Chain A
Amino acid sequence: MSAPTTAAGAPAPRASAARAFVALCERDLWVTVRHEPLAFLSQALLQPIFFLFVFGRVLPEIGAARGAYGTALLPGIMALTLVLTALQNTALPLVIEFSFTKEIEDRLLAPLPVAAVAVQKMLIAALRGIVAAILILPLGELILPGGIHLGGASWGALAAILVFGSLTAAGMGLVLGTAVPPNRISVAFALVLTPLIFTGAAFYPWASLATLRWFQVVTLLNPLTYVSEGMRAALTALPHLGAGWVALGLGVSLALFGALGVLGFVRRAVD
């Protein structure tokens, strides 16, 4: 073995927290695109494809739903895909990386604050959620009987909902992934995901719950409701929660889950 050239010189002179942050993002994007694009797409899109097909096509076909149901359903499925993808892409990897593979350690030793590692995780998960949600549009065009109609869409509002909705969900994933002990994660997922999916106004416009008042109130506790209603507002002319309520609901959720998630991450990372 030849003599190493390593010399104890100045410590990593180019290292900076910003460079480390960008490099961590590069690593995650590289993995998504080069090493597991199929895993990402199937995890993100399989469920929404079946929701669109069964609720948007099969039920109207057999007369169990009205033909126009697809119009109300599409924004809901986009919201659901956005939230579930972002949430699962923080929670699941965190559980695995903290407990089993320990892969997180190399990131925690990178020259940036531990909280920034958490924020970076949220950012990438949010980005994955956004990509998955946008892919629902062409899928809807293919699957729904009447296709999709985006004539009156407000693209700015859509962009805002995508960004804030996915970050909120990533924060929820961070809370779940760091607060739940790894041996309980499957139970936690079952307990959290099912209510999240079905109380989030994804399959029904919130306003239509007026006759079921107690349930309508319950749905307001679910951040997904604000994402679904925001999507409906951006993409359709259907009645929806006011923009101010959507903004408030998302703002509060993002602040709450973002802060709790980063805090949980730091507590998990540093004993």
Chain B
Amino acid sequence: MPATDLVRVEALSKRYGPDGPEAVAGIDFAVREGELFGLLGPNGAGKTTTIGVVTTRVRPTAGRVLVDGLDVSADPVAVKRRIAVVPQLSNLDRTLTAIENLTFHAAYFGTPRAERRARAREVLARLGLEGREHDNVRTYSGGMAQRLMIARALMHEPRLLILDEPTTGLDPQSRLFLWDTMLDLKRAGVTLVLTTHDMVEADRLCDRIAIMDHGRVIALDTPQALRRLLPAEHGLDLVLEGGDDPAAAFGALNGGVRVETSAAGEGRWRVRLYGDGVDEGLAERALGVAREAGRPLVELRRIEGTLEDVFVHLTGRGLR
């Protein structure tokens, strides 16, 4: 196993019950040390089951998962020492205050009594929860509970932090704060695995993304590379002055560039350039063509498929 992989998922499959459906149908991927890895997929795609195996809560039917070189099924206790999980729904200890949630969690991981409080205060401050540490967690809002669960996860300084749909149901401020927190943790050397439906979130945060559907990994790459999976949605969009169809002039571009023109009203034409010939120099060349044809440029826009387009393209439109 290369030293740079913190998590290796090898031929993993999981069937719940002998006749149950295959929630995960033989998947392979690796999470590199220090990266922020996204697991994307529709409901029921197998994300939660996959996370469940990594976190020792689900036993694989076949295949295996290694965390830091340790087989999760064979040595769950050693794996638990290296990981922390922030679940989607609060699982805070409701009979305890906020700071007790943190200090007892630290105690489970053997932090000496004298260090627990100091560390809890430091982590609470980092997550903007100072002043509320002695409140019962029942009084916490959704966003605060989420931050407290992250604080709790950080108490034992995990190498791998797993967040299961962490921003679902949060207000925009909490979501932005959480994004900053995740990026800060990444800078500090923590490896993060994130499951989400939120494409903007995945696009902005993740170094690499695995898209899952029907228990399989159907794409795995950087967000930029995934967006390039949609060739027809990648190109340029120009609006030019003048009443004639400029299609003939742009035909000179060729080299795999496809041209589509349409009247844009007010004596203007819209030109759409896409296809395999799209490259960095296309805008320059297109402007040259327009200038030569004596057609002043009104608007120039890059067309790029969003991650959401890629997602729908790969997983289809059917409801789950």
Contacts and interface: CB of A to CB of B under 8 A. Distances in A.
Interface in B137-161: 152, 154, 156-159
A184 interface: no
Interface string B80-111: 11111101011111111000100011011111
Contacts of B126: 1-2, 4
Interface residues of chain A: helix, strand, loop or mixed (majority)? loop
Interface of A: 1-9, 11-17, 19-20, 23-24, 26-27, 30-31, 35-36, 101-114, 269-271
Given A7-B157, A106-B152, A109-B56, A12 B95 contact: no
* Contact-size category for B: 35 or more
Nearest to A32: B95
Contacts of A9: 157
Contacts of A111: 77-78, 80-81, 108-110
Contacts of A15: 81, 108-110, 156
Given A1-B181, A109-B84, 11 more contacts: A1-B128, A5-B188, A7-B189, A8-B190, A12-B82, A17-B77, A102-B87, A111-B81, A111-B108, A271-B58, A271-B59
Nearest to A108: B57
A7 B184 CA distance: 11
B93 A20 contact: no
Contacts of B181: 1
Q: Which of A7, A104, A109 has the most CB of B within 10 A?
A: A109
Contacts of B82: 11-12
Contact of B59 (A1, A36, A106, A270): A270
A104 B109 CA distance: 16
B16 A271 contact: yes
A-B pairs, 6 with minimum CB distance: A14-B110, A23-B107, A102-B91, A110-B108, A8-B189, A11-B82
Interface of B: 16, 33-34, 52, 55-59, 68, 76-78, 80-85, 87, 89-96, 100, 104-105, 107-112, 122, 126, 128, 152, 154, 156-159, 180-181, 184-185, 187-191
Contact of A271 (B52, B91, B110, B158): B52
Given A7-B157, A17-B77, A270 B109 contact: no
Contacts of B90: 102
Nearest to A27: B104
A2 B185 CA distance: 11
A16 B191 CA distance: 23
A89 to B, nearest CB: 13
A31 B95 contact: yes
Nearest to B107: A23
Contact of A26 (B33, B59, B94, B107): B107
B6 to A, nearest CB: 9
Contacts of B109: 12, 14-15, 20, 110-111
A6 B154 contact: yes
A3 B107 CA distance: 25
A113 B77 CA distance: 6
22 contacts: A1-B128, A4-B184, A5-B122, A7-B188, A8-B33, A8-B34, A8-B190, A11-B68, A11-B157, A15-B81, A15-B110, A15-B156, A20-B108, A31-B96, A103-B91, A105-B57, A106-B93, A106-B105, A106-B152, A109-B85, A111-B109, A270-B58
B299 to A, nearest CB: 39
